[in-house]
Every structure is written in structure tokens, then in C-alpha cells.
Chain A
Amino acid sequence: MAVLSIIITAAYILRAIHKVFWGEYEGEKWHDMRPILPIDKLTLVMFCVILIVIGVIPAVIAPIVEAGMMPVVARVQDAQHAATVIDTVHVAATNFLYWLGGA
């Protein structure tokens, strides 16, 4: 179900790109705009390169994150036998129904 959020995200991001960067350019309204500084360009390029590297070669982070998660997952998996909140609700609901039937 969370996959649906991809569709919504696609919708609002595309709309933002479209509205901000495309469309009519009103030259007189924005004529006094400062240019982008080289240092800003450096930052943008740095982030873009990192994103592309992580996207194309996930192996640069996947194994180390997985190693970090293993002890936590092992602990959670050991606890799988525990009851859940659904059980509590289920018991409460059953008791309530019995009580209704008895009344």
C-alpha cells in the first residue's frame, strides 16, 4: 500500500518541477536576480554525484547498513513469540461479546 505514495510523490514533484522551472519566463519580473555562485554549484554537484553513485551502485552502502542492522533484527526475531496488541484487542472484544451475550 505504501507503494502508492510513489505515485503521489511523482505527481506533486512533477507538478513542482513543471510550475517552477517551466512555463512563461517573465524577464522584467526577475531581471535583478543574482547568478548562482560557483560554491553553490559545487555543493549541488557534490550532492547529485552522491545520489547517482548510491542509486547506481547500492553496494557502496547496502552491506554496511545490513551489517549494522543484523544485531537489532536478531533481537527482534528472537522476540517473535510475544503477543501483540491485536491479541489484546481480540481478547477484549471477545470478552465484551460474551458480556453482551450474558446480559
Chain B
Amino acid sequence: MEFPFLSIITLLPIATAVIILLMPKERGENSRMLALAAMVTTLFLSLYVYIAYYNNLPAPGTPWAETLQFTEEVAWIPSVGISYILGVDGLSATLVLLTAVVGLGGVLISWSIEDRPREFYAFFMLLVAGVQGVFVAVDGFLLFFFYELAVLPMYVMIVIWGWKERREYAAMKLTLYLLIGSFFSFIAFLVLYVQLPNYLPANLPAGLPPLDSAISTFDLRYWSEAQFPFAVQQIWFMPLFVGFAVLAGMFPFHNWSPDGHVAAPTAVSMIHAGVLMKLGAYASMRVGIQILPEGTVYWMPFIILLTLINVLYGAFIAMRQRDLKYLIGYSSVSHMGLVTMGFAAMSLYSFTGAGIQMVSHGIMTALFFAVVGMVYDRAHTRSMDDLSGMRQALPWLVIPFIIAGLVSMGIARPFRLHRRIPHLHGGMGRRYAFFGQYRLWFEPGQLLPNYCAVGRLIYHHHRRLHFTSDS
């Protein structure tokens, strides 16, 4: 048997959490060393998995089941077709590495936490384990299991260590949104589960034995080959996709996200914006788009409309914020809209762009929240009106904030957008007509507020610089 890389990446944080909770209270100091050790180990293992996958990329055209590597398979509840199957494809190998990096950053950032560090690190480890689990799960049931495991520690961590004014409200809102979303996904998933054996093609990819038609399976390798009838796909795509897209902050279900960001402690904000929102996008792609491609095609125009609102509306709200954390919270809603939009454009470039955007946005937002957390810890305010001249007090934060800002402005993004947009507007036959009309209608109207925004910005700067130097 091969070395179980993925099991260790997923289960090591859980084991660490258990050990941390078993330690006596007086030795709470040691918990951060344990957490650090676990995260460094995970990082090295994920890096190994990533590099090994990178050096052994599957050929184009390989079915999904055969692109999986580092596969581990153990029967769990065979009577209903649930098994413990882990594996990574190119995207999940990347996201596992991202989670490991952000998790390590989270442990380092909360090094000086005073309030109950033992419990904090235990819950943090559970959160990381849940996120890693979703990325490596190849079994649908396991995926839902880890998904819930990732949501519940969020609630506890926000309520106990969060910002005192908003934490209970924000934590409850976040948990309700996410659990109700996954509830819809799970219903859709179960409906499809019952019908699955009827709609599997005769020739399955190599390595998959024919399915016992009396028992269905949660194994996503079978699901990724299923050909559900069009009517089924039409009905169940939306619950399946949107249920997960709630976690990706998709309009009109984005409202939990900025509140959650603001109320959460710094490390949790980093995981939340950096990885958890990617988890929603990843799951909606893996479960929604991959299983029901015709449903995707059917609903695509509607989803593009939602994501456009998502991107622009998120950006405009961010423009109005005075609180730094709300600013970054809305900005990540806007940027995650670009990821969903990449999915909705349905070409290889757009999907790849969405994947790269997930990674760069993950690191960038984590960095933003780290910087804002440090400012808040020291200045005890996040309001842009109260803060000024921080470059003299905290010079170390200036360059990271500017780098993150440049990334979010898209210094690296035009490359991706340029690749994505032509495919959004063309190359799809009759749909082109729709976009043609759409652009005619909306583009001048959209440009106007932008000029206003930039104008207002320049005016604002001018006035501020001018008057402060005069007076």
C-alpha cells in the first residue's frame, strides 16, 4: 500500500485537535507549538502532492476518474454505497496546497492570542481539516460530511473569539445561510442518488467496476460519467449548484459573508475568505457542473446575470465602506463573482482563469485580513476615517497591503480576464446574439457610475491633500 498522503493531510489536524483538547489547561501554551507542527507537516505533504501531480499531469481528454492520483479507497457503509475515497485532481491538489499555506499563516498570525489558546487552536485545526477534507473527497457523502465539519467550527470561533459587537448575529447568520444552502444541495444530491444506476453509460472508464443496480453509490467517479435526462438536470441543477454557491458568496446569497468576515478573529477571517469561499466554488463545480452539464448549459445565462450583479454590486458596496474589514469582505464577494463567472462562461480558458483566480484571491485576501487584523489589534479601530499616517507607526504593513491591493486591482488579472472575456462573448454560436444585445443595453449605463466613482476619488484625494496641507 502506498503512503496515505491525503489521509494524513486531512486527519492530522483532527488528531492534533484531539490531542490539544486532551492536554491539561496549564499547558495551553504548548498547543500553539503542536498546531504549528501539524500545519508545517501538512504544508510539506501538500507541497509533495502538488509537485508529484505537476510532474505527472494526465493527458488531455482523460476521463475524470482516471485523472485522480494518490487515491485511497476503503469501504465504509457498503449497504448504501458510501465509502471513504480520497484522491486529488489538478484543481484539488492546488487548493489543498492553498489551504495548507493559509492554515499555516493563520496559526502564525494568532500566535499571541491570549483568550483560551488551547480551544482556539483545537477548533482551528478542525476547521482546516474540514476544508482539506472537502478538497480531497471523491465520495459525495464524505464531501458533505467534511463540508459540515468546516462550517461548525466557524460558528464556535466567531462566537467566542469574534468582534464583541456583532459576533453572535454574524455567526448565526453565517451558519444558517450555509446550512440551509447545503440542505438544498443535499436534497438534490439524494434525489439524483436514487436515480443514478439507471443513467450510467455502459462503458465506464478503466478501473471502475460496473455498478450493482440494486444499490446506488456516492462515489463521484461514477457520478462524473452519469447522463441524467434533460428534465432532471433542468430541475435539480439550481438547488445543487446554488446550495454550494452560497458559500462562494453568490448574489443574492452573499449577505452572510461580509458580516462573517468582520465578526471573525483574524485567523478565521483568513481561512474564511482565503479558503472557505473557494470551497463553495469548488463544490459547486465538482458536484453541480460536473454532474449536471446540460443543467449548467440551461441555466448559464441566468447565472451569468447573477454573477455580473455579484461582481459589480459587490465592488460598488465596497466603495461605500468606511470599515476596512467590510471593505475587504465586499471586495472578496466581488472577486468570487469573477470565479463563478469563469464557470458560467464554460470554456477551458474561463475555467482555468477561475481556478487561478481562486488561488490568487485566496492568498491575497488572507494577506489583506492579516494586515487589517494587525492594524486593528494595535489601533483598536478599523474605520478609515480614524486611521491615518499608519506608515509611520506600522511600516511593515505598508508593502504587503499595497501588494495585496495591486493583486486585487488585477495587475496580474488582465492576463486572465483577457483570456476569459472573448470566450464569454463569443465562440458559443447562437448565444452570441444574447450577449450582443446584452452589451448594447448595459455597457454605457455601467460605465457612467464608474467614471463618477473615479472622479469622486480624484476629487476626494485632491480636497484631502489640499486642505490638510493648507490648514
Contact = CB atoms under 8 A, between A and B. Distances in A.
Interface of A: 1-26, 30, 33-34, 36-37, 39-44, 46-48, 50-52, 54-55, 58, 61-80, 82-86
Contacts of A41: 396
B30 interface: no
A19 B286 CA distance: 41
Contacts of B443: 1
Tell me whether chain B's interface is mostly helix, strand or loop, or mixed: helix
Contact of B394 (A15, A33, A78): A33
Given A8-B316, A25-B392, A71-B63, A84 B412 contact: no
B414 to A, nearest CB: 8
Contacts of B341: 2
A70 B366 CA distance: 28
Contact of A51 (B335, B367, B453): B367
A75 B315 CA distance: 32
Given A12-B319, A14-B457, A20-B390, 9 more contacts: A2-B417, A5-B334, A46-B104, A48-B399, A51-B364, A68-B89, A73-B347, A73-B351, A86-B431
Contacts of A58: 356, 412, 415
B374 A21 contact: no
A13 B105 CA distance: 23
Given A68-B94, A84-B301, A84-B431, A76 B355 contact: no
A39 B289 contact: no
Interface residues of B, number: 126
Contacts of B402: 17
A30 B379 contact: yes
A14 B299 CA distance: 37
A78 to B, nearest CB: 7
Contacts of A3: 417, 421
A25 B394 CA distance: 11
B454 A70 contact: no
A54 B367 contact: no
A77 B370 CA distance: 40
